[in-house]
């Protein structure tokens, strides 16, 4: 009973556990994969702005999978991220879609412009 009440305030406890597990998997990677995975994780947290917990958790679980597989196979980092690590990280995050913080502001901007145009036409 208490867990449901806590989850109502803080979000899914299962999602938090999955997220922590993904972080542990990233921290267990050998260098240089750990450094790159941590950098991509950090960038995604700032850039991605994803608000949907399921989507965010899946993104980070898949990120751990990607870098674990690369480390196991000995795949060169360049073969994964190419010449544009920012472009790679942004494309990676965009592939997951989901609601983002900026979506609310985009809707507000569009609404404000539409209302201004309507008032302008009425004048």
* pLDDT of res. 45: 87
* pLDDT of res. 7: 53
All structural domains of the chain, each given as residue ranges with its CATH number in brackets, are: 2-122 (1.10.1900.10)
- Contact assessment for residue 61 and residue 114, using Cβ atoms and an 8 Å cutoff: no
Q: Per-residue pLDDT averaged across 12-39, rounded?
A: 95
* pLDDT of res. 107: 83
pLDDT for 56-110, tens place per residue?
899 999 999 999 999 999 999 999 999 999 999 989 988 887 666 677 787 888 8
pTM: 0.74
The HSE-up count of residue 47 (CA atoms within 13 Å, CB side) is 17
Q: Predicted confidence band at 5 (pLDDT cuts at 50, 70, 90)?
A: low
Q: CA 27 from chain center: how many Å?
A: 18
């Amino acid at each position: 009973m208490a867990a449901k009440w806590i989850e109502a305030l803080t979000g899914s406890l299962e999602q938090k556990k999955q997220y922590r597990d993904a972080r542990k998997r990233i921290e267990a990677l050998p260098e240089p994969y750990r450094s790159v995975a941590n950098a991509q994780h950090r960038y995604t947290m700032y850039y991605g702005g994803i608000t949907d917990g399921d989507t965010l958790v899946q993104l980070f679980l898949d990120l751990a999978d990607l870098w674990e597989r690369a480390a196991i196979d000995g795949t060169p980092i360049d073969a994964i991220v190419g010449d544009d690590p920012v472009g790679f990280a942004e494309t990676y995050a965009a592939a997951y879609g989901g609601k983002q913080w900026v979506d609310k502001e985009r809707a507000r901007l569009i609404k404000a412009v539409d209302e201004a145009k309507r008032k302008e036409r009425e004048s």
